[in-house]
Amino acid sequence: MSQMQIWESYRSLTRDPSVKKRGIQQNTYKRVLKYAKPFKFDIFSLIFIVVIDAFLVVAQPLLFKRIIDEGISAGNKGVVINTALIVGLLAVISGVLSVIERLYSSRIGEGLILTLRSEVFNHVQSQPIGFFTRTQTGSLISRVNGDVIGAQQAFTSTLSGIISNGISLVVVLATMIFLSWQITLTSLILLPLFLIPAKYMGKKVQALSREQMSLNAEMSQTMTERFNVSGALLVKLFGNPQVEGDNFFKKASRVKDIGVRIAMTNRVFFVALTTVATIATAIVYGFGGVLVVTGALTLGTLLALTALLARLYGPLTSLSNVRVDVMTAFVSFERVFEVLDLEPLVKDPVSPKTLKAGPLEIDFQSVSFAYPSRAQVGLESLEIAADGKVEETINELALEEINFNVPAGSMLALVGPSGSGKTTISQLISRLYDPTKGQVLIGGTDMKDLDRTQIRQAIGVVTQDSHLFHDSIKNNLQYSKKGATEDEIWDALKSAQISDFVKSLPDKLDTVVGDRGYRLSGGEKQRIAIARVFLKHPRIIILDEATAHLDNENEAAVQVALSTVLKGRTSVVIAHRLSTIINADQIAVIKDGKLIAIDTHKKLLAGNSVYSDLYNQQFSIDV
């Protein structure tokens, strides 16, 4: 057997056999064919080339037989030369076909990967924020990478392998029987001697590979948690470098040990396949040699048969595991479809309405809301925790019968104890979720009647921990307004009270802010986030405790920036420090998901115990 045939046998025999127990849904096959349709010309071309190549498998041994029997043994130089030229020509043709086959195979495979990855990425982007809070990022990325690649193999290696091996097996067997049914029968009797140890070693490699994947995932998780900025900071503040190093060494050592075992098992696997194939060839040579001596077989025929024998065991081994190959590809498709079949909870209407021009009011009408359960927004296979358990949420109301109106251009402040539902209200205004009951209107239009592009353009948000990409300041700002000019960017930075700082940096706008913006201080990062909102020019501003973790100096700078960005815009402000919102047009007091009061600061301080208690906890004197 050639190294390529041994590798194909290895790949087939080390597939996970458990996929055979999994049932494939009936519509999966139809959906897979839908993805094949754009590549039908390439697929038919690939099949055609594979078929021709399969017939060429037997051509070379038969030509060698002719050289020996009709050329060398008969002393005919012309036959030797002509046949040798044909062998060379067929080798060139086979090489060219191999290149063309690879071209079509890669076009199909890479095209399918592009299609599936793009679909999964875009579909995941449409999922509600609750999907991301439940999903393990690594598992999701695995779907976009590993399972998509596994799926494309259905149209490349699996499809071409089945056709090629099937045709090769039929042609080789027919040719061998035609040349000598005795040696063909002997070859088939010897097949179990080859197949049984191969399957045994394949199972061992498969089990070790599964263990290696688990150990590598565990080690990668450790590195991911320690190498991001937040994790590194936690380790430096609370961790012990010696303990961290020892723990990592233990995990890496287990990976090393399993790596050595896999390397040795692989070597034994390949040696076993090669040895058994060589023994089978030796037996055929011995038996065939006797037939040649007795005159029952020509020498050329014997050499042709032994050459064909090497092309018999490879296809037989691969086809013996063909069901696992096919099921593995279809299971990968199903895992991709599992993500694509997740229905987004927040959908754009078929015929969206258009927001009116000018300032926008916000209106909550009898709004109740319960966070969606896992069954509504998640996949169990994407959120398995370390202990193997999946937490199930109970659909309790986070908000109940909320009614308020924020006139265009005014400010509403939301206050209340932690966990009372303030951030949930801001998420409904941004349409990260839709209310379970009631309506949320902006500009007099139900948000469910607007497409999300309009809503994103109309609303700007600054959160408590604003996220910046590991990119330049310029690119982070242009994320809110693609194509913004440098003049517009500097105007936004000036309005956010951060332009002088950016000008002082060596790379100015091209300064890379680091992972999550950690190269900047908290105040600097918040002002960059405010500048990003300025650049967007939204008509509604939501501030979710935007100054909660800032010191007095940074808070003062951010408050100046905010006073500029809020001017003339409708705003909803969630404030941890009540001193920052005492001048709001309205202050809504939220407790246990209910609106218990809404009024001005002075009236609430005089007439609402919840608000006055919250206020007095921060100030020792009445205002």
pLDDT grade for 25, boundaries at 50, 70 and 90: low
User: Mean of the pLDDT values across residues 534-538?
Assistant: 84
Residue 595 has pLDDT above 80, yes or no: yes
Distance CA 561, CA 495 (A): 6
Sign, Cα dihedral of 299, 300, 302, 307: positive
Assigned token pair, 441:
């209107």
**Mean pLDDT on 456-484:** 84
Q: Which residues pair with 594 in a beta bridge?
A: 591
For residues 288 and 213, give the distance between their C-alpha atoms in angstroms, rounded to a whole number: 47
Percent of the chain with pLDDT over 70: 82
Burial of residue 180 (number of CB atoms within 10 Å: 0-12, 13-18, 19+):
buried
Helices marked H in 239-353 — which ranges? 241-293, 299-320, 322-340
Q: Give Cα 114 to chain centroid, integer Å.
A: 12
d(CA 186, CA 74): 29
Pull the structure tokens for residue 11.
Answer: 């790949």
Tokens of 355: 């927001």
pLDDT value, residue 441: 92
Please, what is the angle between helix 40-66 and helix 299-320, to 10°? Answer: 150
pLDDT at 104: 86
CA gyration radius, the chain: 35
Nearest-angstrom CA–CA distance, 154 and 500: 57
Per-residue pLDDT, 233: 66
Segment 540-589, tens digit of pLDDT: 988 887 766 566 666 677 677 777 777 778 889 887 777 677 888 898 98
Which one is the CATH code of 3-340: 1.20.1560.10, 3.40.1410.10, 3.40.50.720, 1.10.600.10?
A: 1.20.1560.10
Question: Rounded to whole angstroms, how far apart are CA atoms 451 and 182?
Answer: 75
Q: Cα separation of 156 and 39, whole Å?
A: 11
> If DSSP codes are grouped into helix, strand and coil, which group holds residue 463?
coil
Answer yes or no: is pLDDT of 108 > 70: yes
Biggest alpha carbon–alpha carbon distance for the chain: 120
Residue 298 identity (one-letter amino acid): T
What whole-number distance in Å separates Cα of residue 140 and Cα of residue 599? 45
CATH of domain 405-435+448-618: 3.40.50.300
3-340 shares its CATH topology with 405-435+448-618: no
Task: Check: CB of residue 9 under 8 Å from CB of residue 204.
Answer: no
pLDDT at 623: 44
Cβ neighbours of 240 (radius 10 Å): 10
| Alpha-carbon distance values, 492 to 201, 359, 473, 525 (Å) | 65, 20, 12, 14
Report the distance separating Cα 266 and Cα 384, nearest Å. 31
292: Cβ contacts below 8 Å, ≥ 6 apart = 298, 299, 302
Most confident of 19-33, 313-327, 345-359: 345-359
The number of angstroms, rounded, from the C-alpha of 165 to the middle of its chain's C-alpha atoms is 32
Give residue 365's pLDDT.
92
- pLDDT of residue 289 exceeding 80: yes
- Give the per-residue pLDDT at 620: 46
The alpha carbon of residue 49 and the mean position of all alpha carbons in its chain are separated, in whole angstroms, by 33
Place of tokens 């509600």: 128
pLDDT digits (tens, 9 = 90+) for 51-81: 888 888 888 888 888 888 888 888 888 888 9
Residue 495, number of CB atoms within 10 A of its CB: 20
Domain boundaries, the chain: 3-340, 405-435+448-618
pLDDT attached to residue 56: 84
CB distance 398 to 369 below 8 Å: yes
Using the structure block, give the residue that is written with the tokens 């060494």: 249
pLDDT value for 62: 87
Any idea which residue has 């209910």 for tokens?
A: 594
User: Would you say residue 9 has pLDDT above 70?
Assistant: no
Cβ contacts of 468 within 8 Å, gap of 6 or more: 476, 513, 516, 517, 520, 525, 528, 529
pLDDT exceeds cutoff 80 at 95 = yes
> Which range has the worst mean pLDDT, 63-72, 97-106, 339-348, 483-492?
339-348
Residues 179-226 pLDDT 10s? 888 888 887 787 776 667 666 766 676 677 667 766 776 777 677 677
Residue type, 226: R
Q: What would the two tokens of residue 138 be?
A: 């690594």
Measured CA to CA, the distance from residue 119 to residue 131 in angstroms comes to 17
Q: Are 147 and 335 in contact (CB under 8 A)?
A: yes
Cβ proximity of 553 and 586 under 8 Å: no
What's the rounded Cα separation, in Å, for the pair 364 and 368?
10
Between 299-313, 321-335, 484-498, 602-616, the lowest mean confidence (pLDDT) is in: 321-335
pTM of the model: 0.69
Going by C-beta distance under 8 Å and a sequence separation of 6 or more, which residues neighbour residue 317?
A: 8, 9, 12, 13, 194, 195, 198
The two three-digit tokens of residue 482, written as one number: 């693609």
Continuous segment of H or E residues that includes residue 168: helix 159-179
Whether 387 has a pLDDT exceeding 50, the answer reads no
At 551 the pLDDT is 65
Q: How far apart are CA 388 and CA 371, in angstroms?
A: 23
Report phi then psi at 162, rounded to 5.
-65, -45
The mean predicted confidence, pLDDT, of the chain is 79
Q: Which helix (H) or strand (E) holds 41?
A: helix 40-66
> At residue 394, what is the residue type?
I
What pLDDT was estimated at residue 378?
63
Query: Kind and range of the H or E element at 604?
Result: helix 601-607
- Checking if the pLDDT of 364 tops 90, the result is yes
Contact 229, 514 (CB under 8 A): yes
8 Å CB contact between 48 and 355 = no
Write down the pLDDT at residue 23.
Answer: 54
**pLDDT at 105 > cutoff 80:** yes
With cut-offs at 50, 70 and 90, classify the pLDDT of residue 386.
Answer: very low
Contact 447, 434 (CB under 8 A): yes
How many other C-beta atoms lie within 10 A of the C-beta of residue 242? 8
Tokens of residue 69, six digits: 């029997």
End-to-end alpha-carbon separation of the chain, Å?
91
Residue type, 425: I
Identify which of 292, 572, 606, 525 has the alpha carbon closest to the alpha carbon of residue 422.
572
Of 25-34, 245-254, 332-341, the poorest mean pLDDT is in 25-34
Q: So what's the pLDDT on residue 385? A: 46
- Of 117-121, 491-495, 551-555, 614-618, least confident by mean pLDDT is 551-555
Using CA atoms of 478, 407, 410, 529 in order, give the dihedral in degrees to the nearest 10. -20
Residue with tokens 């100046």: 560
The pLDDT tens digits of the residues spanning 127-173 come to 777 777 777 666 677 667 777 777 777 667 777 777 878 888 888 88
